Structure 1
Amino acid sequence: MIQPVTLSAAPPHSADDKTQPTSRNLGLDGLRGIAVLAVMTYHFWPSFLPGGFLGVDLFFTLSGFLITGGLLKSMTGRRFPDLRGFWLRRARRLVPAMLLVLVICTALALLAVGQLPAGLRWQWAGALTYTSNWMQIAHGNSYFSSVEPLYFQHFWSLAVEEQFYVLWPLVLVLLAGVLRKRGALMCGILVVAAASAASMAWGFDASADSSVLYFGTWTHGFGLLLGSAGAVACAGGQVSRRGRSQRARMLIQCSQILIICCLLLAFFVLPDTSAATYQGGMALFCVAATVLMMTLRNSGTWGYILLSHNYLRWLGQRSYGLYLWHWPLLVLAQTIFPPQAQTAAVLCVIPLIFLAAQLSWRVIEQPILQYGFILTLSGWAKNIAGRTLQVWNGATRSFGAVATLLALVLVPLCAASVLMASPAQSQLEQQLTLAQIALDEEAKAPAAEEQQPQATDDSRQENSTQKLSKNETARKKFTGLDVTALGDSVMLASSPQMLKKLPGISIHASVGAQIWDAPARLRELKSAGELRKVVVVGLGTNGDVSAGTLEQIRSVIGAKRELLLITASAPRQWIGHVNDSLRATAESDSKTHIVDWARTAPTVDDMARDDIHPGPHGGAAYGQLLADAVQKL
């Protein structure tokens, strides 16, 4: 028979309830605090902590470990777990704080009047049904390189956990019935976890966006499953200090410190774009976290003492609120503040996040956890009735009561008005859509000069060059009719101005385009006879340049064509390496030239809030920069 494990702490997106024992694993609280700090730092300063997104995997592992431990305890004596009570406790922990964030943050979006968050209605639908991850996949949202981040994008992880809470108790009962021994059950869960991790590794493609793998419940469910396997392994009960040799105790304590150091190191060395991250890195991180949790059952170990520090415990207990509040408040602040003051936006919003999380914990989360929905709601109703009576009777010093009542009425009304007014697309998305329409119309109606047959390979180019008049050969100047441009959404945003600066230019730009796709795309254009004498490549915003890519580009276009490489400008960690590679290629080839957008972009005054995409003035600067480079050839 499987022995239960004591549910000693609340899961990261779950928490205390009436069935929880008084003893609490304070070390797991501290581990939760580290997880939420990592996620927040990753969102605030992604270049400083490129692997901070792994804090979500740490949350997942904690949830699997603690939820499964509680379920095993409830299955003592082969009893069927009280699923109704289990799901009710999860609802008490998750729903109230989430509803509070949805309503208040949606109402606060009025502060960004003129730039209301887009797609709020379907984001609300995903949040309320805990299907945000699948909603974002269906809408083509990218977690790592989206044009503009969703207001409630972070709710995807809550959806994955809630889907686990709904399905896992039933699966666990089934597995426990088939695999009756604890060791067999643990091995069975590990096999499922390995299959989940393998599906992520197998599905990873460096040339495609990885958000589908990251958002997917199955492909990203291995952390929850590994934590569950750890809970089964610990189901024998609390480990006693007695009978353990000093050497074994020292080994456990040293392993705890080593694992903690490895987890912290992973936050710095496993970026969200690395193949190693998806092909085993995240899974190994969750394995290490699970082993650490299994050793934290004894309160006297070094790891337990370190992780049970008061500040880490405080963060861990409020981690759910911190996670919920930090993202929409950050997005709102970055919208309100100008692009040049994004650091100030982050610094201003941090204390607001902690204040909101603390108030949510004290006013909403704790009362409902302690007294349940009915008693808490009835208490709130009595309080509201009393304040209403105060105002009605005109009692002195009733300002606080009036303010409370106004907030209870106005905040939901403001939230409803924002939901109704929320556009389907953001301003930047609308700008890119209009630019794409303009490019499509330009492609359908080519200028008369473009009807001349273009060179399709090096031999044709050489033959046509020999037919040029002596004056044209001496001139050696190019116009837009001689230029083929390949780029990403930055070029797409600038394309209307590029068409004005270089009439007749052929632009092939799209959202999310990657630099490693350039050789294949240029090969298609060359085969179709659309590759002109000057080739412009404006890529690198969405991913690093892999070895040999730039050499392949030169090989495809041939040795006689001029190649213009536009440097990238974005607050992303790979940009420096991309630009270094572009400049090194230009230095080694006389027919390759740099168009230094990275140097010009910081001087543009109308960049989008992501500090990547230019507005109309920035697009004009982008187009002028390219036009000047073409004229100098």
Structure 2
Amino acid sequence: MSMEERAMKRGVTAQMAVEEYSRPIIGRINGLDGLRAIAVLAVLVYHLYAGLLPGGFLGVDVFFVVSGFLITTLLLREVRSTGVISLGQFWLRRARRLLPALLVVILVSTALGFLIGKDLLVGIGRQTLGAMTFSNNWLEIAAGSSYFAHTAPQLFVNFWSLAVEEQFYLLWPFGFLLLMRCVRSRVRRLGVAAGCALASALLMAILYVPGTDATRVYYGTDTHAFGLLIGVALAFAWSGGTGMDLSRPNWRHRRKFIGLGALALLIGCMFIVDAASPFAYRGGILLACVLTAVLILTLLEGTGPLQTMLNFPALTWVGQRSYGIYLWHWPALVISDAVAPQAIGTPGWWIIRILALALTVLVSALSFRYLEEPVRRQGFRATWAAASGAVARGGMKVNGAKLTAGLGATLALLAIAGILTAPAKSQVQTALERNQSIVSAATPPTLVPSAAASATADKPTDKPAAAPSAPAPGAGNAPAAATPSGTPMAYPNGDEVIAIGDSLVVTSADGLRDRFPGMAFDAASNRQWPDGVAAIGARLANDSMRRAVIVHFGTNAGVDQTVVSKALDMLGPDRMVVLVNLYGASSWVPNANDALTNAVKGRRNVIIADWNKAISQRPDLLQPDQIHPGIFGAHLYADTIKKAFHDLAVRTGGAVPADYTIVDDY
């Protein structure tokens, strides 16, 4: 049977213009392992603490470009060598490379989650199904999960990128065959790949809505495939016999400067591009992918100072194990936070998380040596046979092989038990649902304002709202009279207070209601500062705003100082306003708190409730997500606000209750 007949039997057509691909394609690209190392180290630093490297998430996009380039180059090499593509062998090679480590990470992490508890297994069935079916990103999108804000510590949140790559591995060979059959010109093939990459980047830019959670456009295969496609375009550009000539003296002379410049710019992007910034989704990620493609181009066909630098032994070692390091690092960080919660930024927190990453590297090295490489070289059957033989040869004696087999069986049983008994909801979600009824019951109604009223509400308020008649006893929802500007502001009674905010206000409702009996709420999960401005405008428009206002937004997407200033202008200078700052490991938290601090400068009637400082001293009062307060944390939250109102009253010369106290026994 001829080669073509064998290919037809597999369902693959061999009619491709193979004569165009006459240039030898090397098996290993000088310096590429070093580039992989830089990519995975950037991701590790970003997940360790995003404030250190706000754009460290771009390391994933570096991997995308490398994968698109290498996979397409391999397909072109197979076309050149045999005239056909064996899809079965192609997918088998990918399975050998990806599945062994993935399965072990799932088993170990799920088993540990079962033993530790603390919400680690919320949604684990969905996450495991997504990992095993290469659909993690779409399942998480459908479930409403967020990459940027969590109510539960997801063990496999980093698997979204594996899903995107694996979908590419499954579908791209068909696209490749179709492109090779239907488009004869190498230049046109390059154009198709580049055009599809541009379309994907444009779709991300169009679907992204500033100020909202960007998970959909970040996770989506359609909106985040451009890195892979840029790698495809680079492979078509380089691999063709009539393609770019990298042996020309001018290119060889300039290559080292271009490569070093591209690397410097790429690292610069990792320091500048922020996941909370619209620029990330409207050009920033695309720029990083283009710089990666340029960088790869300078590594091809030759040596130079860039290759020498990227071939540094430590970088090469990390790059070769980058897949395992990427798989293990996120579960290791999540589990370490659950086992030994520490206040973010404290020495203990740094020690615990650095130890988790060190353990990640160790486990990844063991996995690479004893699992990934044997399976990749020998295949599943031969590796299984060798392992089974080692167990059998031990007879009745306990040896390393038997211990490993026993450990594997135990982990499998624990993982199955974890999946079967996983809680349906996180403790945070349960608290949100319970407290939302409290908040709803204490939320004064708002009327839908007319267009004219809305326009008025959007403008800065220069004078207080008209003073209504005194409320009847017990009429806690009635608005209180505002105080003329410049006069003392007395510490508020509960029926003079309203809290407008997001999930932090909802989870703290018990504590707030205890400290401010009769207070009102206007709060719900997943709200952000633009929602706060709208809520403030609606209440000003129908006179349901109270004299003392608590405002807390930014948990989900940071803080825009301009928007905060607009909200404060709307509330005017004659209400007591407490802005609550943020606590968390998200990259935007330090800048968000700086923005809040700057927004209150020069405003006599506004003060910051330093929730960040208060909870940093008692991280044990947080829910397992390390963001929302637990039962006692809600009372600390309320006391932090109570103290802010006290300090604001003192600052303006207002009266303070004689029996004012702060409970600090939690």
Query: Would you say same fold, with TM above 0.5?
Result: yes
CA distance change for structure 1 residues 87 and 5 in 2, over 3 Å: closer, same or farther?
farther
2: distance between equivalents of 1:242 and 1:434? 65
1: distance between equivalents of 2:246 and 2:132? 49
The residue that corresponds to 1:14 in the other structure is none
Mapping 1:213-292, distance limit 5 Å: 213-236=217-240, 244-245=248-249, 247-292=250-295
**Residue number among 632, 637, 648 corresponding to 1:617 in the alignment:** 632
AA aligned to 2:121 is P
DSSP 3-state at the match of 1:234: helix
CA distance change for structure 1 residues 126 and 251 in 2, over 3 Å: closer, same or farther?
same
Mapping 1:183-582, distance limit 5 Å: 183-236=187-240, 244-245=248-249, 247-340=250-343, 341-387=348-394, 390-391=395-396, 395=397, 398=398, 400=400, 402-443=402-443, 461-464=465-468, 476=490, 478-527=492-541, 529-582=543-596
AA aligned to 1:333 is S
Q: Could you list the per-position Cα deviations for residues 296-348 of structure 1 after superposition, in whole angstroms to 9, with x for gaps in the alignment?
A: 11232222222122211111111111111111111111100022432222122
Q: Could you list the per-position Cα deviations for residues 533-577 of structure 1 after superposition, in whole angstroms to 9, with x for gaps in the alignment?
A: 222211233334324313321343344433222222233343333
* Match status 1:84 vs 2:88: yes
Superposed CA RMSD in Å reads: 3.0
Contact (CA 8 Å) 1:30, 1:313: kept in 2 or not? yes
DSSP 3-state at the match of 2:577: strand
2: distance between equivalents of 1:601 and 1:190? 49
The residue that corresponds to 2:46 in the other structure is 42
CA distance change for structure 1 residues 571 and 242 in 2, over 3 Å: closer, same or farther?
closer
1: distance between equivalents of 2:409 and 2:588? 47
CA distance change for structure 1 residues 625 and 338 in 2, over 3 Å: closer, same or farther?
same
Comparing 589-598 with 149-158, which one deviates more in the overlay? 589-598
**Residue number among 621, 626, 629 corresponding to 2:641 in the alignment:** 626
1: distance between equivalents of 2:613 and 2:104? 43
DSSP 3-state at the match of 2:549: strand
CA distance change for structure 1 residues 110 and 463 in 2, over 3 Å: closer, same or farther?
closer
Comparing 111-120 with 311-320, which one deviates more in the overlay? 111-120
TM-aligned CA deviation for residue 532 of structure 1: 1.9
AA aligned to 1:580 is D
Contact (CA 8 Å) 1:36, 1:319: kept in 2 or not? yes
TM-aligned CA deviation for residue 114 of structure 1: 4.8
TM-aligned CA deviation for residue 458 of structure 1: 9.3
1: distance between equivalents of 2:23 and 2:436? 58
The residue that corresponds to 1:130 in the other structure is 134
Contact (CA 8 Å) 2:482, 2:547: kept in 1 or not? no
DSSP 3-state at the match of 1:51: coil
CA distance change for structure 1 residues 468 and 491 in 2, over 3 Å: closer, same or farther?
closer
Q: Which TM-score applies when normalising by structure 2?
A: 0.84
2: distance between equivalents of 1:507 and 1:175? 58
Comparing 368-377 with 424-433, which one deviates more in the overlay? 424-433
TM-aligned CA deviation for residue 523 of structure 1: 1.5
Comparing 418-427 with 96-105, which one deviates more in the overlay? 418-427
The residue that corresponds to 2:163 in the other structure is 159
CA distance change for structure 1 residues 468 and 371 in 2, over 3 Å: closer, same or farther?
closer
TM-aligned CA deviation for residue 443 of structure 1: 4.5
Q: Could you list the per-position Cα deviations for residues 12-31 of structure 1 after superposition, in whole angstroms to 9, with x for gaps in the alignment?
A: xxxxxxxxx7x422311111
1: distance between equivalents of 2:76 and 2:464? 74
Mapping 1:165-180, distance limit 5 Å: 165-180=169-184
Structure 2 unmatched runs, 5+: 1-16, 447-456, 474-480, 655-666
DSSP 3-state at the match of 1:601: helix
TM-aligned CA deviation for residue 597 of structure 1: 2.1
2: distance between equivalents of 1:472 and 1:158? 56
Contact (CA 8 Å) 1:238, 1:297: kept in 2 or not? no
TM-aligned CA deviation for residue 399 of structure 1: 5.2
2: distance between equivalents of 1:475 and 1:192? 61
The residue that corresponds to 1:449 in the other structure is none
TM-aligned CA deviation for residue 287 of structure 1: 0.8
AA aligned to 2:368 is W
Structure 1 unmatched runs, 5+: 9-20, 447-455
* Match status 1:181 vs 2:196: no
AA aligned to 1:554 is L
DSSP 3-state at the match of 2:537: helix
Contact (CA 8 Å) 2:212, 2:557: kept in 1 or not? no
AA aligned to 2:362 is L
TM-aligned CA deviation for residue 421 of structure 1: 2.0
Contact (CA 8 Å) 2:465, 2:482: kept in 1 or not? no
CA distance change for structure 1 residues 328 and 557 in 2, over 3 Å: closer, same or farther?
same
Contact (CA 8 Å) 1:189, 1:226: kept in 2 or not? yes
AA aligned to 2:363 is A
2: distance between equivalents of 1:242 and 1:478? 74
Percent identical among aligned pairs is 34
TM-aligned CA deviation for residue 5 of structure 1: 8.2
Contact (CA 8 Å) 2:560, 2:595: kept in 1 or not? no
TM-aligned CA deviation for residue 260 of structure 1: 1.1
Contact (CA 8 Å) 2:153, 2:624: kept in 1 or not? no
DSSP 3-state at the match of 1:594: strand
Comparing 107-116 with 404-413, which one deviates more in the overlay? 107-116
DSSP 3-state at the match of 1:60: helix
AA aligned to 1:295 is T
AA aligned to 1:373 is F
Contact (CA 8 Å) 1:145, 1:512: kept in 2 or not? no
CA distance change for structure 1 residues 187 and 399 in 2, over 3 Å: closer, same or farther?
closer
CA distance change for structure 1 residues 298 and 239 in 2, over 3 Å: closer, same or farther?
farther
Mapping 1:51-130, distance limit 5 Å: 51-76=55-80, 79-130=83-134
Contact (CA 8 Å) 1:492, 1:511: kept in 2 or not? yes
1: distance between equivalents of 2:544 and 2:102? 52
- Alignment: residue pair count: 602
1: distance between equivalents of 2:467 and 2:356? 63
DSSP 3-state at the match of 2:365: helix
Comparing 47-56 with 167-176, which one deviates more in the overlay? 167-176
Comparing 558-567 with 419-428, which one deviates more in the overlay? 558-567
CA distance change for structure 1 residues 158 and 466 in 2, over 3 Å: closer, same or farther?
closer
CA distance change for structure 1 residues 472 and 522 in 2, over 3 Å: closer, same or farther?
closer
Q: Could you list the per-position Cα deviations for residues 89-125 of structure 1 after superposition, in whole angstroms to 9, with x for gaps in the alignment?
A: 1111111111111112211224424544211111111
CA distance change for structure 1 residues 234 and 458 in 2, over 3 Å: closer, same or farther?
closer
DSSP 3-state at the match of 1:507: strand
**Residue number among 599, 605, 611 corresponding to 1:597 in the alignment:** 611
Comparing 471-480 with 403-412, which one deviates more in the overlay? 471-480
1: distance between equivalents of 2:24 and 2:643? 67
AA aligned to 1:209 is D
Contact (CA 8 Å) 1:6, 1:70: kept in 2 or not? no
DSSP 3-state at the match of 2:356: helix
CA distance change for structure 1 residues 264 and 516 in 2, over 3 Å: closer, same or farther?
same
DSSP 3-state at the match of 2:527: coil
Q: Could you list the per-position Cα deviations for residues 446-483 of structure 1 after superposition, in whole angstroms to 9, with x for gaps in the alignment?
A: 9xxxxxxxxx99999424269999x9999955322222
DSSP 3-state at the match of 2:578: strand
